[in-house]
Amino acid sequence: MAPSHKTILIGISGGIAAYKVAELVSRLKKKGYQVEVIMTESARQLVAPLTFSTLSGRPVRTEMFHEIVTEHVEVEHISMADRADLMVIVPATANIIGKAANGIADDLLSTVIMAASCPVMYFPAMNTRMWEHPVLQENITKLRSLGYEVIDPDSGFLACGTSGKGRLGSIDSIEAKILETLEKQDRQTLAGKTVLVSAGPTREPVDPVRYLTNRSSGKMGYAIAAAASKRGAEVVLVSGPVSLSVPTGVKRISVETALEMQAAMAEQMDQADIVIMAAAVADYRVAKPATEKIKKDDEEMSLNLVKNPDILSALGARKGQRIVVGFAAETNDLKANALSKLKKKNLNMIVANDVTQAGAGFDVDTNIAVIYRDNGSSREIPLTSKEALAEIILDEIECNDKEDER
């Protein structure tokens, strides 16, 4: 997409480094981007808004409520958030970080952050003691776990007369980070490829009204499907029962049982270049589900279970030139178990998570993972959103693909 079609929303909070942002706005504008600026009330005390409105060619916004005189009445904080392809908070004070991490939306900037669906990057700048404060660090960890990008400040001379960590990074480095993120949004690196993804739990019937299932929400698989589609792939998503909507551009095939999932995956495998098995398949099913509702006449009852097929092993066994990726949810011996599954199921990559850790695994929005590849390499991913992990998994797959071509 041409820069002129991209809008960068710069949020300036009240740190003394606010004056440096004038140079950033000027550079981004010269590159052809649409730049809009929101200043907090304190930022306005430090630098005149006129500086930024002149450089960006747009009025600078501060007020949550101002008299609407046009005939097109719009809810400004929502429309600003909708227009943005990227939001950059620079400098990000301890205050705006604290508000964003805790859902406080008491002025225009904090409200637009909450309303934004585009990526949001924070460039903190503050006194070293504030930077090192455990509350600030906790807030940053929380923002990162929610998928926001927070870039550590530099070390150096600070406006308060001391020296240490907390100095705003150079405008060169901030500009480079912004451009890198915007370029990533446009990359169609999976164009021409078909990606087959499985997601969600399976449901194994006990009788006409009951079933066995697990806690999988499907969020990880859906995030992968959405990310692959954005990178230009044809995406087929074989999904167990979940309450998520189909990501844009993705073809969903809905299944219930492991046997139905196996049949759908086997059928779709031929067209696929990349197969990612993120579903939590039930290992066992009821041997003979009752045709009528089971009555509670007896004090005890037992179910006779039989093993379900390992779908991924079968796909791995006939993978040919495809890249096949599995998941391993473990409660112990993460590395040993993951590596053994990588080998046994003939995978190119396995994404292992220790589901005993808070923030990892089923039914949460975040994950903590280690990606093991068949070339022996591994990559540890600290607590992050499932959307961000999906991007990392696709980066690793693309990396694997390139190595294979060499």
Q: Name which of 264 and 279 has its Cβ closer to ligand C5P.
A: 279
What number of residues does the chain have?
406
Return the range that interacts with ligand C5P (CB under 6 A); candidates 62-70, 124-132, 289-297, 320-328.
Answer: 320-328
Q: What is the DSSP string of 219-284?
A: HHHHHHHHHHHHTT-EEEEEE-S-S-PPPTTEEEEE--SHHHHHHHHHHHHTT-SEEEE--B--SE
Residue of 326, 352, 353, 371 interacting with ligand C5P (CB under 6 A): 326
Residue of 148, 222, 327, 372 interacting with ligand C5P (CB under 6 A): 327
CB 167 within 8 A of CB 174: no
Residue of 127, 308, 384, 385 interacting with ligand C5P (CB under 6 A): 308
**Contact string (CB under 6 A) for ligand C5P, positions 209-248, x = contact:** ----------------------------------------
List strand residue ranges (DSSP E) for 111-220, in order: 120-124, 149-150, 154-157, 163-167, 194-199, 204-207, 210-212
CB 1 within 8 A of CB 111: no
Residue of 20, 341, 373, 386 interacting with ligand C5P (CB under 6 A): 341
Task: Work out how close the CB of 361 gets to ligand C5P at its nearest, in angstroms, rounded to a whole number.
Answer: 12
Residue 234 backbone phi and psi in degrees, to 5: -80, 125
Task: Work out how close the CB of 375 gets to ligand C5P at its nearest, in angstroms, rounded to a whole number.
Answer: 19
Closest among 379, 378, 375 to 400, alpha carbons compared? 375
Contacts of 327 (CB under 8 A, 6+ apart): 220, 277, 278, 350, 351, 352, 353
Q: Which residue among 114, 160, 259, 381 is the active-site one?
A: 160
Residue of 279, 324, 368, 389 interacting with ligand C5P (CB under 6 A): 279
Compute the distance between CA of residue 158 and CA of residue 236 in angstroms, rounded to an integer: 52
Return the range that interacts with ligand C5P (CB under 6 A); candidates 32-40, 152-160, 276-284, 380-388.
Answer: 276-284
Compute the distance between CA of residue 221 and CA of residue 232 in angstroms, rounded to an integer: 17
Task: Work out how close the CB of 235 gets to ligand C5P at its nearest, in angstroms, rounded to a whole number.
Answer: 17
Q: Name which of 140 and 323 has its Cβ closer to ligand C5P.
A: 323
Task: Work out how close the CB of 312 gets to ligand C5P at its nearest, in angstroms, rounded to a whole number.
Answer: 3
Residue 160 annotated to the active site: yes
Enumerate binding residues for ligand C5P (CB under 6 A): 258, 277, 279, 281, 283, 308, 310-312, 326-328, 341
Catalytically active residues are 160
